[in-house]
Amino acid sequence: CSLAAAAAPPPPVPIAAKPVRLFQEGEEGNDDDNDVEVVTEVAPTVIGPKSGGGGGSNGDKGGVLVRDIMAAQDALKRTGADAVGNGSGNGEEAGGGTGIILKRQARPTAGAAGGGAGSRVNDPAVLREMVQKLASSSTPLAKSMDYLQEDLENMRKEYKFWVTEKRLYIEELQREERVQGETGSVDARMNDLESQIKQAKDRIIGLKGQVLRNDDKISKLLVMATSGK
């Protein structure tokens, strides 16, 4: 009984592979895209008495138990190693145990977030297509600039034409104003002359009336002289 108690196998414990650091969301690191931690849970191994034909010493039983324990430990180690290999290669649970795989998805890099712009820039075909699009977009712009230059020339010529027209009309307006000024002075002089003529006519009429009155007086004096009165 003492030998059996000493050789009793210890209870199986879960074998954990070497843990790999897990980064939280938003934390950056220099590790690979996928960080995996595998914890393999092994079911308890029941070691029963080996059928040896009904006999054996306690030392034989103890040696068999030790060999069984060592074999079970080797099997557990191989299972843990396989689980670590499968988890790091495929990101799935190991097929040889009940391991739980914790997997973190890789954060998109700057190039991936930008839609693979860096790889597209390095692609000659994509670069050629971008250059063709740029050229097709710049050609109408160049034509528009040429048309704009022509429009500027035409507007400059039209501006010069209207400046000349303005100067001509200003000169004509000034001439009309001078003529109107001269006409106004002539009209004023004519009005003055007309008033003077009217005054002369009035004086003539007055003189005629005075002459008639004087003639009447003279005729009366002659009549008185001839009659001897």
Burial of 81 from C-beta contacts in 10 A (0-12 / 13-18 / 19+): middle
| Max mean pLDDT range (66-75, 88-97, 199-208) | 199-208
pLDDT over 90 percentage in the chain: 19
* Eight-state DSSP code of residue 34: -
* Cα–Cα distance for residue pair 85/96, rounded to 1 Å: 11
- Residue 50 in any domain: the answer is yes
The pair phi, psi for residue 202, each rounded to 5°, is -65, -40
Q: What is the pLDDT of residue 76?
A: 85
For the chain, the first-to-last Cα distance in angstroms comes to 216
Domain hosting residue 11, numbered range = 2-108
Q: Average the pLDDT over 16-35 and give the result.
A: 50
Q: What is the pTM of this model?
A: 0.27
- Residue 188 in any domain: the answer is no
What is the number of structural domains in the chain?
1
Q: Which of 57, 66, 76 is nearest to 8 (CA)?
A: 66
- Residue 228 in any domain: the answer is no
- Residue 101 in any domain: the answer is yes
* Cα–Cα distance for residue pair 188/191, rounded to 1 Å: 5
DSSP 38-67: EEEPPPPPP-PPP--SS---HHHHHHHHHH
Q: How confident is the model at residue 13 (pLDDT cuts 50, 70, 90)?
A: low
Q: Which of 157, 178, 176 is nearest to 168 (CA)?
A: 176
Q: Where are the alpha helices (DSSP H) in the chain?
A: 2-6, 58-90, 110-113, 117-122, 124-227
- Residue 54 in any domain: the answer is yes
- Residue 15 in any domain: the answer is yes
Q: Which residue has the higher pLDDT, 220 or 4?
A: 220
- Residue 192 in any domain: the answer is no
* Cα–Cα distance for residue pair 166/177, rounded to 1 Å: 16
Q: Which helix (H) or strand (E) holds 100?
A: strand 100-104
- Residue 73 in any domain: the answer is yes
Q: How confident is the model at residue 141 (pLDDT cuts 50, 70, 90)?
A: confident
Q: Which of 91, 85, 90, 97 is nearest to 40 (CA)?
A: 97
Burial of 83 from C-beta contacts in 10 A (0-12 / 13-18 / 19+): buried
